[in-house]
Amino acid sequence: MAPLTSRMRAPAAPSRRRHDTARSTGPKSLKTVGEAMTLLEQFTVERPRLNIPALQKLMGLPKTNVYRLLSTLESLGYLEKDRASGYYHLSLRLYEIGSRSLVNFNLRDLGRRYLQQLNERTEETVILSVLDKGDVVHIDVLPGRKRLSATSHVGARLPAHATASGLALLAFSSPEVVDGVIGRGLAPVTERTITSPAALRGVLGEVRRAGVSSNYGGRLREVFGVGAPVIGRSGFAEAALAIAVPLPYIGPGDEARLKRAVAEVAGEFSKALGYVPGR
Amino acid sequence: MAPLTSRMRAPAAPSRRRHDTARSTGPKSLKTVGEAMTLLEQFTVERPRLNIPALQKLMGLPKTNVYRLLSTLESLGYLEKDRASGYYHLSLRLYEIGSRSLVNFNLRDLGRRYLQQLNERTEETVILSVLDKGDVVHIDVLPGRKRLSATSHVGARLPAHATASGLALLAFSSPEVVDGVIGRGLAPVTERTITSPAALRGVLGEVRRAGVSSNYGGRLREVFGVGAPVIGRSGFAEAALAIAVPLPYIGPGDEARLKRAVAEVAGEFSKALGYVPGR
DNA sequence: GAACGACGTTCCTAATAGTGGAACGAAACG
DNA sequence: CGTTTCGTTCCACTATTAGGAACGTCGTTC
């Protein structure tokens, strides 16, 4: 091996990049941009309004820097400041850009009718999700008609192994995807979350056989989830339809009924995408 | 006047800021952040995938800078690169952040049922929009059941004076908002767009009286739009419900029927928000 | 009502982080 | 098989950003 410290032009040598920030992600990244985006990420559903001291604590940056980032993002129109309180919140401008990222697959538009169908049929919260970098991302949600429905937000990103959607997606994904998820580690969310690789593989096998997944409190202790894959031409899952029911609403026989409903609607969706069940 | 060149601490002097970039928007903005965001904005529904030369032309930056911005944004997970073609596109990560900006008003979740109602009743594309900085922003869309439906995308930002939604919103907004829109100038979108302030005020008066707006090709030549305000406790419009119908589908009597439908559903929505019609 | 503390804002200079021309390799083209 | 186009790397210069310090202004507290 050649010494990596050499500074020569190195015509054929791989020549390590200078920094290797975090985990060797490409060339040097623009620091300020990263900080600005990190700041935007601090605004969550639970914590939608933040001020300078709060962000200071969250990000560990000097007050001045936070202030400058905020001012910049505000003048660009991505944040709005409540004049009186001094608190900032995300603006609709971000919603615009974010929405555009969905045009790449119009799954959401296609899925609307099936979501509605499932929603009407079960009266529960129904969810359409995709797998993105090993996580489940909800791209559409129709709230249940009953008084309380599981908190599922459009745009939410969740660990695949802890949700019914995720299990349905993983069961019908390529082995590499599953290995990737397992490789990252199966972090527990509740005490019922699947955390062992073997257990996960076992469950995925069952899901593959049954065509439906279920999740009894693996993400939220009080929520029961049922999921089914939406399969495209490739034979792999392109999305998952799921339903989330608060445990108090679950009676005997409901589980089977819900599973059937989800599986049927997801099956129709798959057919619409050009999937032919006969292998 | 004291000489501004002095470097003293200037205890009480107002002391002009150094740059005044563009239009005196607050303090100095972080350049790189602005460029990164501008780059993200280049990705639109019509043009969802871009490569370095394309962005170079669009932004007028040196190739290297574009490359660095792209690499940064990619390593942060906001862009994805198609390994083969070298083209970039927006990732779902942006969808996550964007979605969070909606929690500030849960209008969208509340509006779902009314959108569905209107959609079932008319079988046409229905839209829920709000006014943001003088523009209409679509926060939810249910596509029509007929074969073709007007292209309305969630997240789209459109000029208020050129859409049925916008007219409904403006008609039930405070005078300042209307003045603001007029002050910015009424840019024509098609040859039927309202462009004169007097004409707009006239139309808004009618809309206020009738409770519904209509738009005959003011934004898209071949689309007919009908809108109605969703009014909250304040008595001002919080949102607008609208319906977009391709002209070929419009028969005699349809216009009246559609107007009635939109007005009725929007009225129910308003009531749900706590609006009492008796002033 | 004076003294304190918390927060937003401005100032200023060292030095870091970003700029952009130049050059390279690899495909795609003709 | 030259030629163009695009992605990528290099590097020296300096514009740009970082961040400590100080200031003004509200609200609280005693």
Q: Write down the H helix ranges in chain B.
A: 31-41, 52-59, 63-75, 92-100, 107-122, 164-171, 175-183, 197-210, 254-272
pLDDT tens string B233-262: 999 999 999 999 998 888 888 999 999 999
**DSSP label at residue B232:** -
Residues of B whose CB is below 8 A from A33: 32-33, 36, 69, 72-73, 76
Of B225, B216, B232, the closest CA to residue B173 belongs to B232
Judge contact between B138 and B154, C-beta under 8 A. yes
Residues B153 and B95: their CA atoms lie apart, in Å, by: 14
User: Quick one: pLDDT at residue B149?
Assistant: 64
- Which whole-number Å values give the CA distances from B212 to B168, B223, B264, in the listed order? 6, 17, 10
Percent of chain B surpassing pLDDT 70: 87
In 3D, which of B150, B101, B239 has the Cα closest to residue A98? B101
- CB-to-strand C contacts below 7 angstroms: A 11, 28, 30-33, 51-53, 63-64, 67, 71, 86-87; B 7-10, 15, 17, 26-27, 31-32, 35, 61-65, 68
More confident residue, B16 or A28: A28
Distance from the Cα of B95 to chain A's closest Cα (Å) equals 4
Task: Please give the C-alpha separations between residue B256 and each of B9, B125, B168, B208, B219, in angstroms, as whole numbers.
Answer: 69, 17, 16, 17, 21
Among the partner residues A109, A132, A157, nearest to B143 by beta-carbon distance = A109
pLDDT given at position A250: 87
| Residue A22 reports pLDDT greater than 80 | no
Q: Percent of chain A beyond pLDDT 70? A: 87
d(CA B245, CA B223): 6
Bigger pLDDT: B102 vs A210: A210
CB B146 within 8 A of CB B123: yes
User: Which residues in A lie closer than 8 A to residue B75 (C-beta atoms)?
Assistant: 25-26, 29
CB-CB neighbors (< 8 A) of B104 in chain A: 48, 89-90
The pTM score is 0.83
User: Which residues are B241's β-sheet partners?
Assistant: B128, B228
The residue of A47, A69, A72 whose CB has the most chain B CBs within 10 angstroms, and thus the best one to mutate to test that interface, is A72
- CA of B116, closest CA in chain A: separation in Å? 9
The whole-number Å distance from B212's CA to D13's C1' is 62
Percent of chain B that is helix, strand, coil (3-state, to 5):
40, 20, 40
CA–C1' span, A30 to C18, in Å?
8
Range name among A127-141, A163-177, A240-254, B141-155 with the lowest pLDDT average: B141-155
Amino acid occupying residue A63: K
**Nearest residue: Cα versus C1' of D23:** B11
pLDDT at A194: 97
A24-28, A87-91, A92-96, A104-108: lowest mean pLDDT where?
A24-28
Separation between the CA of B10 and the C1’ of D22 (whole angstroms): 12
Report the pLDDT averaged over residues B187-209.
96
Hey, which residues does B104 pair with through a beta bridge?
Answer: none
Taking the C-alpha atoms of residue B233 and residue B241, their distance in angstroms, rounded to an integer, is 17
pLDDT digits (tens, 9 = 90+) for A68-93: 999 999 999 999 998 888 999 999 99
Asked if B217 has any chain A CB less than 8 Å from its own CB, the reply is: no
Show residues of chain A in contact with B43, CB under 8 Å: 97, 100-101
pLDDT at B26: 58
CA–C1' distance B30–D22 (Å)? 23
B100 Cβ under 8 Å from any chain A Cβ: yes
Check: CB of residue A139 under 8 Å from CB of residue A108: yes
A86 C-beta neighbours (distance < 10 Å), count: 12
A40 touches chain B (CB under 8 A): yes
Q: How far apart are CA A231 and CA A276, in angstroms?
A: 9
Provide the mean pLDDT of chain B: 87
Residue A17 has pLDDT above 50, yes or no: no
Q: Which of A40-49, B25-34, B166-175, B248-257 has the highest mean pLDDT?
A: B166-175
Chain B: closest CA distance from residue A278 (Å) = 29
Kindly report the length of chain A: 279
The per-residue pLDDT of chain A, averaged, comes to 87
Q: If we measure between CA atoms, which residue out of A18, A104, A21 comes closest to residue B82?
A: A104
B85 burial type by CB count under 10 A (0-12 exposed, 13-18 middle, 19+ buried): exposed
pLDDT, one tens digit per residue, over B20-52 is 333 344 567 899 999 999 999 999 988 999 999
Does A43 sit within 8 Å of B98, measured CB to CB? no
pLDDT value for A46: 86
Q: What is the pLDDT of residue A128?
A: 96
Nucleotides of C under 7 A from a protein CB: 6-13, 17-25
How high is the pLDDT of residue A148?
Answer: 64
pLDDT at A210: 96
Q: Which of B28, B74, B75, B135 should be substituted to probe chain A, the one whose Cβ sees the most A Cβ atoms within 10 Å?
A: B75
Residues of B in contact with A32 (CB under 8 A): 30, 32-33
Whether the beta carbon of B86 falls within 7 A of nucleic chain D: the reply is yes
Q: At what angle do helices B92-100 and A92-100 cross, to 10 degrees?
A: 150
Give how far B78 is from chain A: nearest CA, Å: 9
